[in-house]
Amino acid sequence: MNLADIMDFLSRHRGKATGILIGLIFGWLVIKYGIIKTIFVAICVGVGYYIGKRLDERIGIKDIFYSIFRKD
């Protein structure tokens, strides 16, 4: 199996490969550091992803914090 075959496989099964990688990393973190620390890291990654996604959409930091902490 060469690099082209691997890249073709990953492009056809991107979601499955990503899920496996995330599961592997999460499992390793739980074994190494415990469930509470792992959940904390997962939350931090999620918040970082959300802020990065909003910045990619050209939404300013000020607007992001207003949308997170607004009163309804």
Query: What's the pLDDT tens digit per position in 3-12?
Result: 888 888 888 8
CB contact burial 4-42 (16+ within 10 A = b; e otherwise) = eeeeeeeeeeeeeeeeeeeeeeeeebeeeeeeeebeeee
pTM reported for the whole predicted model: 0.61
Q: ∠ at Cα 56 (64, 11), nearest 5°? A: 130
Query: What's the pLDDT tens digit per position in 37-68?
Result: 999 988 988 888 887 787 778 777 777 777 77
- Check the CA dihedral 8-13-14-20 and report its sign: negative
Domain boundaries, the chain: 1-32, 34-72
- The whole-number pLDDT of residue 68 equals 72
The Cα-based distances of 13 to 4, 19, 24, 29 in angstroms read 14, 10, 17, 24
